[in-house]
Amino acid sequence: PVLVVDFGAQYAQLIARRVREAHVYSEIVPSSMPVSDMLAKRPAAIILSGGPSSVYEAGAPQVDPGLFGAGVPVFGICYGFQAMAVALAGEASHTGQREFGGTPITVAAGGGVLLRDLPAEQSVWMSHGDCVTAAPAGFVVTAASPGAPVAAFEDTGRRLAGVQFHPEVAHTPHGQEVLRRFLYDIAGIEPTWTSNNIIEEQVEAVRARVGSKRVLCALSGGVDSAVAAALVHRAVGDQLTCVFVDHGLLRAGEAEQVEKDYVAATGINLKVVDASEQFLGALAGVTDPEQKRKIVGREFIRVFERAAREIDAEGHVEYLVQGTLYPDVVESGGGTGTANIKSHHNVGGLPDDLQFELVEPLRTLFKDEVRQIGAALGLPEEIVMRHPFPGPGLSIRIIGAVDEERLAILRAADLIAREELTAAGLDRSVWQFPVVLLADVRSVGVQGDGRTYGHPIVLRPVSSDDAMTADWSRLPHELIAKISTRITNEVREINRVVVDVTSKPPGTIEWE
């Protein structure tokens, strides 16, 4: 792999994704990992990420100079670039000239390997207070900015290079090209990380692991479990059984989509459990968001356990497929105790006495890779490109108690919003489009000649890369108008449509 050494900013994941977009496999490791452990992973290259520290600060994470003597290509970015300069006896200092945001750089004649044939003047994304003031011996300086006399350097003989700017962000237009130059031309890596190779590798790995044993998977209707199951099915065929729990909190058409389209595309054994009565019974009268989440989680386990036992009675099941993604792995391994903002319902909370071994074929993948693999496995676009939908479903999009009638109102409004978004061709430009029913709020309206006293519906379209942060989507006013008109015309109980214009933070994406 290419190792991305995380110096403690959010950049490491983005760098890892960009490397993979260049079809090279990458993994994130903490900067506290000893160099010997890094080298034991036999890295094709090492990338030192940016970070919030200042190189000369007490306690700032250092780079062990031993890293550079091992013959492994190394690329430093921002803080990693400065740390690299210092470790190799160059110089970095606090010049007091900060650069933040889009910044022009001037490429030196030739541009070296990293910047050759790219525009001599170009904009890059900077975010630094310190800068490299002298490149280490043997390095060629290939670019400068007003605040960074050394903005890029390279020593192609030793296969070492670095940049002060952030090539991984979209605001650096030639950034991906710079990264490719490092990977292909300086480090000499072949771009072989493609969907088909990933599928082949994972299919082999699952076969080797599972042998002739039986495997179970809980399908949620979401992309991750759908792709994970399809991958495992490709590996072990009918040894896999999927369980889909319809908790009655799904949107219009969702259960059917899983039952028909998904099975048609994959040929997977699917057991559908209609448990809506059980869930709605348990949720009756409950208004507290955390209570709702806990109830759905608990009931899910009960239903799933029962289904699993039935399947197990037909033949012993040893493995459980989970659609865990790489960011979950990185974040839970990060060790930083993040506050529990919402308890996310997940199959991960299965009780110990079920005693399955986990099969997680997507553990090394990012969401966009999972989608590509889903497509390569032949899953329908409606499943592969689906927006994320929370496990507790519509229960946390009804503000107030949940019942059949309210679910029906929300489903109708939600379907209109989704239909219109799709008709406008904007599915891809929106990360997610929750529609929320304020079931305990009423407002006065007028329709025909009469007074109405109905409920508001909230439209919550957001754009995001990873759901950790989000911005409200600036949907065209015409589209919002159309959705509003249709909802108030077609859903009798709704007389008001509002748009949520809160980013995350401070709002979360879901209302509960």
Residue ranges for the known binding site are 220-226
Nearest-Å Rg of the Cα atoms of the chain is: 26
- Distance between CA atoms of residues 6 and 163, nearest Å: 16
Amino acid at 356: F
Please tell me what DSSP assigns to residue 185: I
Q: State whether the Cα torsion 273-275-276-279 is positive or negative.
A: negative
Return residues touching ligand XMP (CB under 6 A).
293, 342, 344-345, 388, 390-392, 432, 467, 504, 508-510
Complex with ligand XMP: residue 176 or 463, whichever CB lies closer: 463
Decide: 3 and 37 in contact? Cβ < 8 Å. no
Would strands 443-447 and 450-459 be described as parallel, antiparallel, or unpaired? antiparallel
Tell me how far apart the terminal alpha carbons of the chain are, to the nearest angstrom. 39
Q: Which DSSP string corresponds to 451-463?
A: EEEEEEEEE--EE
Please classify residue 123 by burial: count the beta carbons closer than 10 Å to its beta carbon, then call 0-12 exposed, 13-18 middle and 19+ buried.
middle
Asked whether 434 and 511 are in contact (CB, 8 A), the reply is yes
Distance CA 309, CA 271 (A): 13
Between CA 361 and CA 405 the distance in angstroms is 39
- Is position 242 annotated as part of the catalytic site? no
Min dist CB 316 to ligand XMP, Å, is 29
Give a three-class secondary structure readout of 186-245.
Answer: HCCCCCCCCHHHHHHHHHHHHHHHHCCCEEEEEECCCHHHHHHHHHHHHHHHHHEEEEEE
CA atoms within 13 A on the CB side of 194: 6
Report the distance separating Cα 235 and Cα 255, nearest Å.
25
Given 21, 154, 166, 217, the catalytic residue: 166
Q: In which element (H, E) is residue 114 found? A: helix 112-115
- Here the tokens at position 201 are 């590798």
What is the nearest approach in angstroms of ligand XMP to the Cβ of residue 344? 4
For residues 68 and 79, give the distance between their C-alpha atoms in angstroms, rounded to a whole number. Answer: 16
- Shortest reach from residue 433's CB to ligand XMP, in Å: 10
Six token digits for residue 9: 């900013």
Tell me the binding residues for ATP: 220-226
Q: Which is nearer to ligand XMP, 187 or 394 (CB)?
A: 394
Q: Based on the residue annotation, tell me whether 166 is a catalytic residue of this protein.
A: yes
- Of the candidates 21, 99, 154, 168, the residue annotated as catalytic is 168
Find where tokens 């709020």 sit: 441
- Least distance in angstroms from the C-beta of 287 to ligand XMP: 17
Is-catalytic flag, 131? no
Smallest gap from residue 407 Cβ to ligand XMP (A) = 17
| Smallest separation (angstroms) from ligand XMP to the CB of 281 | 20
Helices (H), 62-181: 79-87, 112-115, 175-180
Q: How far apart are CA 154 and CA 174, in angstroms?
A: 17
Q: Which residue among the candidates 21, 78, 99, 420 is catalytic per the annotation?
A: 78
Minimal distance, residue 341 CB to ligand XMP, in Å: 6
CB under 8 Å to 267, separation ≥6 — which residues?
A: 233
| CA–CA gap between residue 473 and residue 421 (Å, rounded) | 12
DSSP structure class, residue 184: I
Catalytic residues: 78, 166, 168
